[in-house]
Structure 1
Amino acid sequence: MEAKPEESEEKGIRSSISLYSLRLWNQIVAFLPSTRDSNFLWKLSSLLRRRRRKTGLPLPLPLNSINSSVLTVTGWEPAEASRLYDVLGDLLEHCFLNLHSIWKNLQFWQSRAEGTNAQKVYFMICERGPRAFFSGTAQLMRQNFRDGFSLQHVAREASLYIADRITILSNLRCHLAVFVAQVFMEIDKIGAEAVNDQQNSLPSLLVTLNGLFLDLEASICQLHAAHQMDLVDGSFSFPLFEKLPDVNKEGSQWTSCEIGDAINLLYQNLHKLDSFIYILVSKHRKPRKLTQHWLRYTCGAVGLSVCSVWLIQHSSLMGSNDIENWFNEAHNSAVSFFKDHVEQPLISIRDELFDTFRKRHKGVMEVQEVQLTVNSLHRMLLAFSEHTKGQKFPDDASDQEMLAIVMARYEKELMHPIQNLLSGELARALLIQVQKLKLDIETAMLELDQILKANEINFAVLAALPAFFLSLLLLMLLRAWYKQDTRAEGKGRAARLQRRLLVVEVEKAIMQYQSFVDQGRVKDAECRFGLLLYSLGRLYHASEKHAKATGEWLYLRQDILDLGKPGLPTRDKLRITWRMERVYDCLLPTLKRS
């Protein structure tokens, strides 16, 4: 049921192309004598390498520069010193990239190993592509006919399949981490030895690095012997790496040709190591996203095909105007919604804010109309009071006093309603009360109109609420999409949590390294130190941008570099990690930020 290995990943292709171009450039520099003294080509080579290198820790040299006295005081030419510096940087950079590739695939297989038997069976049948699906289904049906329905056999095969990949990738990661740790320690020794023995330290480093490649080859041979059927099956032959010819000279007696050959040999071995690890990881890599979700994509493609056929049937190609009519209805609905809930409310709010003291439209009741009713009622009360009392009232007499006279007369007239209705003042008193009722109604309507005008902006805002909530929802979706990057390099709370987890990984690696050192397990200690350097490289790259934004990068960078120093005591390293988790803003959880 094992599927064929996947084709080359895009990242691996870019890495191989980058390494080939690097080797080609170094060959040009090595074989063209005129380029050795060309300052322009030397600067161009340095610029290209500097732009390409984006991850990992800086080289542990006292002066991290191609013009460092550690590299040039030996009497080497600047081009040779620059090439040595670059090969050291490229060596660590490619090893970190390979460790990252192994880690991603190993993390996937470990997550699958923690699943239930049903999840493992589903992975073996449904997440490894159509070929594995049909072959696994056929095998499962044959087994059901022969032994009855049972998933134990398939689950056992899935467990072995996953465990085999975990074992190979774990061993490969350990061997590569040991190699990285040894290379890093040897480079770190240059900083101290070059001060006392400047002429012999760097040539001896070339010899030592070649020996480390041979040690790595021995470890790979052991891995090949233990998993003969699961490796590259003849794609590479052993010995894998080239051996540096014996040079029985002191460091100061090395010629430029010998130095160039040694550096070129390191590049050749680096290329072989990179290609070997890439092919081995590709054979045991996790399935692609397209392969894992091929069932969903297939169902989606079928559904899309059905929808396409349905749309064609209702399109003008088949003589139908349904799609055009639906489009027009949707367009009209959208325009109507925009006009009613966006345009008109905004215009109303604008008019209310900027034209408050300007009369916009005639209300239900105007003040002049109410004043006419007030004057009419006053004259009616004045005439009735003068007629009833038989005396002259002043023009500014109170309406309440005259209304009291009207009500008193009205009560008296009601004692003989029929007689007074025909010959008395009852009808006149009733008309005055009708006029008073009219005045009360007009006054209430005027106040209501003023209330409506005063709250017009509130009604406009209320009409715009649907559009506001829709816009808010779209903004929330855009914000979630913008911050969906959960990697440690991203933004947001999830990325900040990933950076804090990297600090936890660093702290655990430091403690495990010290534990192995105390137990005398040298290889395991070197493996943990190599993984520590890998975690520090990830933390270095993930926090650089954010720490620069907060102004903490100089201090955080120095702390990360101190954690990678082999000679720094474990107690001091743990103090540094404790400080990093509590001091630097780019590593603090969101809730604790001030």
Structure 2
Amino acid sequence: METTFEKLFRNLGDNIENLKSQVPAEFGDRFGNFRKNMVALAKQSWKADRGPPREGLPLLLQSPWHPSITVGETNEVDKVVEALRDFSAELLSLLKVVCKHLDFWRLKNEGTDASKVRLMILERGPWQLVLGVSRFVRGSIWEKSATSGLVSAVTTRINERVLVLTAVQRRLASLVGQVHMEIDKLSQDIGKGHHIPEALVSSLSAVLRAMSVLEGSYDLPQTDASSYEDVKATSSISLRFDEISDNLRSKSEWKGKDMDDAVDLLFTNLDLLRTLIDCLMFHHRKPHKITRYWLRYTGGAVGLAFASGWLIRHSRLGGSDDIDRWLREGREAVMTFIREHVEQPLLSIRDDLFETFRKRHHEPDSLGEAQLTAESLNRMLLEFVKHTSDKLPEDLTEQQMMEVMMTRYEEELVHPLRNLLAGQLARALLIQVQKLKLDTERAMLELNQILRANEINFAILAAFPAVIVTCFLGYFGKVLLIETDEVGRGRAAQAKRRMLMAEVEKAIMCFQMMLDEARQEEAMWRFGMVIYGLDRLYKAVKKVAVESGEWPSLRGDILDLAKPRLSSTYKLQITARMERIYECLVPLPTL
């Protein structure tokens, strides 16, 4: 017999369909138009998120120009090289976008089942949380495992995205590698000075033909983002580039308008490619940060709402003067802190610096009082010795007279009552009191001298809290105001730059392996990934290397690594030297 919960979740889908059927057709059409507008707006925001491209790996002619090249040929070469440079920069920007989202999905695919379930339920928005919980409850009631269906669904979605993005990455990287190969061939022809017009035609034609690797059909996700059920129907988008016209194909040399038409065709096809990538990324991108952490943002919004209500209750809007009173008290506390820990210590340090030496030349009053006490004690001892001893030298010291007095004092203590009235016991006691007074004044004088000598230290110690606050404010100001480079700042940025260097080394070794196995298509893909890694490394190290003065040498090494004709053995030697000598790439010492 079905329980209430079983009936509820069994009829959930039917209830939703009935609700949809009750919506008027006119409202449905309006909602459809609204959804289309929102999708278009999302695509525009997606394009805006990429931001302006930063200066990356330059596409340069490595060989010197042959003297026989004319001015007209020079202009044509500059036009073609500039077009291919912009074309390569845009391809690397698109490749970076694809790799960023591909890395995310690969990481999720390699994660645990718990992370996949968390992505499916908690990191796709509030509505997906409701659907995920309902699926979880149904799985726990009707299936053996509550999470098996969720794990299977999220694995299917991740694999769809990984396969499509991997195919796009390989084709884009192959095209990037082909562009750099053609520039290298053009550089050789310019260095020799032979058949420059034919070399330009060959380079542009080869790049236009290489773009055909991106033509074809690309599958969109088989399942809707809001559905947990498997859908067999698939949808896809196709890409077809414009071909070279018969007029241009029939000519062996392109000059003037023909060259402009070829360059325009190149960038027209690039616009088609950019549109395709935008569409694919809209469907295969990783969830937005706001979507993934919507629970945190929701909690923050709720907390902000409560805080706003609390502020309104204690503000003038709520008829209370608590906030005004707290502001006054806070201002007074800040002013007191500044006065006690900044102003007064600084004034004390200033006064001590200017008056310390002057004060040292003037004896204090306590020194004169101690001198009077010492003279009085000396006279008292001298009189005591004269009355109690007959045969003593006249030049006795104070210590010797004290010994004589203490000896007589011990003798007087044998009969204390009698000697207190008729003897010298009372006089000896008064002398000892005078001696104690002298010792106390001398100790106080020494303590006063120590305190005066450390007045500056005490003033600095009083200002120490203000110094700590200033350091913290300066640090946070530096964090907020100083612009970061491509990979951040500090030890984390250093580690990321070293990881980029490791990726470049790995790509070079994979490229050489494909060449050794005579797998030319995969070798071109690997070479494109080498260029992509060098472009990221170029952007990551430029700012730091310029500040340290290492940039000219480091830039030359990066450009050498981008040369197609340079042996992989020499490239690996260059990378090993870069990791050893450049400050922006060496490991930081452990603290």
| TM norm structure 2 | 0.81
Structure 2 residue identity aligned to 1:245 = D
Quick one: which of 153, 158, 170 aligns to 1:157? 153
Q: 1:415 to 1:509 in 2, by over 3 A?
A: closer
The 8 Å contact of residues 202 and 251 in structure 1, kept in 2 or not, is answered as no
Report what 1:542 is aligned to.
540
Report what 1:25 is aligned to.
none
Quick one: which of 123, 128, 144 aligns to 1:127? 123
Q: How many residues align?
A: 543
Matched residues in 1 for 2:562 and 2:152: separation? 42
For residues 429-466 of structure 1, the C-alpha deviation after alignment (integer angstroms, 9 at most, x for no partner) is: 33223222222222222223223333334444444444
Matched residues in 1 for 2:359 and 2:533: separation? 71
* Structure 1 residue 213 displacement after superposition: 2.4
For residues 165-204 of structure 1, the C-alpha deviation after alignment (integer angstroms, 9 at most, x for no partner) is: 1111011000111111122212211112342222311123
Q: Secondary structure at the match of 1:499?
A: helix
Q: 1:508 to 1:424 in 2, by over 3 A?
A: closer
For residues 395-454 of structure 1, the C-alpha deviation after alignment (integer angstroms, 9 at most, x for no partner) is: x75333444444444445445544443344443333223222222222222223223333
Quick one: which of 81, 86, 104 aligns to 1:90? 86
RMSD in angstroms over aligned alpha carbons?
A: 3.7
- Output aligned runs, 1:311-326, within 5 Å: 311-326=311-326
The 8 Å contact of residues 413 and 425 in structure 2, kept in 1 or not, is answered as yes
The 8 Å contact of residues 57 and 540 in structure 1, kept in 2 or not, is answered as no
Structure 2 residue identity aligned to 1:277 = I
The answer to which of 101-110 and 183-192 deviates more is: 183-192
Q: 1:381 to 1:529 in 2, by over 3 A?
A: same
Matched residues in 2 for 1:328 and 1:592: separation? 47
1:287 aligns with 2:284: no
- Output aligned runs, 1:518-537, within 5 Å: 518-537=516-535
Report what 1:7 is aligned to.
42
Report what 1:56 is aligned to.
57
Structure 2 residue identity aligned to 1:243 = I
Matched residues in 2 for 1:499 and 1:454: separation? 53
The 8 Å contact of residues 102 and 165 in structure 2, kept in 1 or not, is answered as yes
The 8 Å contact of residues 55 and 93 in structure 1, kept in 2 or not, is answered as yes
Report what 1:186 is aligned to.
182
Q: 1:177 to 1:287 in 2, by over 3 A?
A: same
Q: Secondary structure at the match of 2:286?
A: coil
The 8 Å contact of residues 54 and 539 in structure 2, kept in 1 or not, is answered as no
Q: Secondary structure at the match of 2:154?
A: helix
Report what 1:104 is aligned to.
100
* Structure 1 residue 122 displacement after superposition: 1.2
Q: 1:276 to 1:439 in 2, by over 3 A?
A: same
Structure 1 residue identity aligned to 2:129 = F
Q: 1:235 to 1:151 in 2, by over 3 A?
A: closer
The 8 Å contact of residues 160 and 221 in structure 2, kept in 1 or not, is answered as no
The 8 Å contact of residues 580 and 586 in structure 2, kept in 1 or not, is answered as yes
Structure 2 residue identity aligned to 1:114 = E
Matched residues in 1 for 2:278 and 2:544: separation? 32
* Structure 1 residue 212 displacement after superposition: 1.9
Report what 1:512 is aligned to.
510
1:136 aligns with 2:132: yes
* Structure 1 residue 108 displacement after superposition: 1.0
Report what 1:257 is aligned to.
257
Matched residues in 2 for 1:245 and 1:557: separation? 42
Report what 2:227 is aligned to.
none
Matched residues in 1 for 2:208 and 2:408: separation? 127
The 8 Å contact of residues 57 and 536 in structure 1, kept in 2 or not, is answered as no
Structure 2 residue identity aligned to 1:312 = I
Matched residues in 1 for 2:239 and 2:402: separation? 122
The answer to which of 347-356 and 120-129 deviates more is: 347-356
* Structure 1 residue 87 displacement after superposition: 1.4
- Output aligned runs, 1:493-508, within 5 Å: 493-508=491-506
Matched residues in 1 for 2:409 and 2:187: separation? 118
Report what 1:273 is aligned to.
273
The 8 Å contact of residues 244 and 262 in structure 1, kept in 2 or not, is answered as no
Structure 1 residue identity aligned to 2:160 = D
For residues 513-555 of structure 1, the C-alpha deviation after alignment (integer angstroms, 9 at most, x for no partner) is: 1212222322211111111111111112222233333333333
- Output aligned runs, 1:565-580, within 5 Å: 565-580=563-578
Structure 2 residue identity aligned to 1:57 = P
The 8 Å contact of residues 545 and 584 in structure 2, kept in 1 or not, is answered as yes
Q: Secondary structure at the match of 1:449?
A: helix
The 8 Å contact of residues 370 and 438 in structure 2, kept in 1 or not, is answered as yes
For residues 259-299 of structure 1, the C-alpha deviation after alignment (integer angstroms, 9 at most, x for no partner) is: 22122111211111112112212221111111111111111
The 8 Å contact of residues 501 and 537 in structure 2, kept in 1 or not, is answered as yes
Matched residues in 2 for 1:372 and 1:323: separation? 63
- Output aligned runs, 1:424-443, within 5 Å: 424-443=423-442
Matched residues in 2 for 1:70 and 1:155: separation? 67
- Output aligned runs, 1:268-417, within 5 Å: 268-359=268-359, 366-389=366-389, 398-417=397-416
* Structure 1 residue 94 displacement after superposition: 0.5
Matched residues in 2 for 1:427 and 1:495: separation? 84
Q: 1:13 to 1:483 in 2, by over 3 A?
A: closer
The 8 Å contact of residues 377 and 432 in structure 1, kept in 2 or not, is answered as yes
Matched residues in 2 for 1:238 and 1:375: separation? 112
Matched residues in 2 for 1:189 and 1:438: separation? 103
The 8 Å contact of residues 56 and 539 in structure 2, kept in 1 or not, is answered as yes
* Structure 1 residue 112 displacement after superposition: 1.2
1:171 aligns with 2:170: no
Q: Secondary structure at the match of 1:530?
A: helix
* Structure 1 residue 573 displacement after superposition: 1.9
Structure 2 residue identity aligned to 1:12 = K
* Structure 1 residue 305 displacement after superposition: 0.4
Q: Secondary structure at the match of 1:185?
A: helix
Structure 1 residue identity aligned to 2:314 = H
The 8 Å contact of residues 92 and 180 in structure 1, kept in 2 or not, is answered as yes
Matched residues in 1 for 2:73 and 2:383: separation? 125
Report what 2:446 is aligned to.
447
The 8 Å contact of residues 554 and 578 in structure 2, kept in 1 or not, is answered as yes
Matched residues in 1 for 2:289 and 2:237: separation? 29
Q: 1:529 to 1:420 in 2, by over 3 A?
A: closer
Structure 2 residue identity aligned to 1:570 = S
Matched residues in 2 for 1:388 and 1:200: separation? 132
Matched residues in 2 for 1:265 and 1:160: separation? 39
The 8 Å contact of residues 74 and 199 in structure 1, kept in 2 or not, is answered as no
For residues 196-222 of structure 1, the C-alpha deviation after alignment (integer angstroms, 9 at most, x for no partner) is: 2223111232222222223432xx33x
Structure 1 residue identity aligned to 2:440 = I
Matched residues in 2 for 1:202 and 1:348: separation? 79
Report what 1:208 is aligned to.
206
Q: 1:249 to 1:145 in 2, by over 3 A?
A: closer
The answer to which of 369-378 and 147-156 deviates more is: 147-156
For residues 326-354 of structure 1, the C-alpha deviation after alignment (integer angstroms, 9 at most, x for no partner) is: 33333333333443344434443443444
The 8 Å contact of residues 200 and 250 in structure 1, kept in 2 or not, is answered as no
Report what 2:246 is aligned to.
245
Matched residues in 1 for 2:437 and 2:576: separation? 83
Matched residues in 2 for 1:115 and 1:146: separation? 27
- Uncovered stretches (5+) of structure 2, i.e. residues with no partner: 1-12, 14-34, 225-233
Q: 1:417 to 1:207 in 2, by over 3 A?
A: closer
Q: 1:425 to 1:180 in 2, by over 3 A?
A: closer
Q: 1:159 to 1:71 in 2, by over 3 A?
A: farther
The answer to which of 398-407 and 288-297 deviates more is: 398-407
The 8 Å contact of residues 171 and 213 in structure 2, kept in 1 or not, is answered as no
Matched residues in 2 for 1:450 and 1:135: separation? 80
Report what 2:230 is aligned to.
none
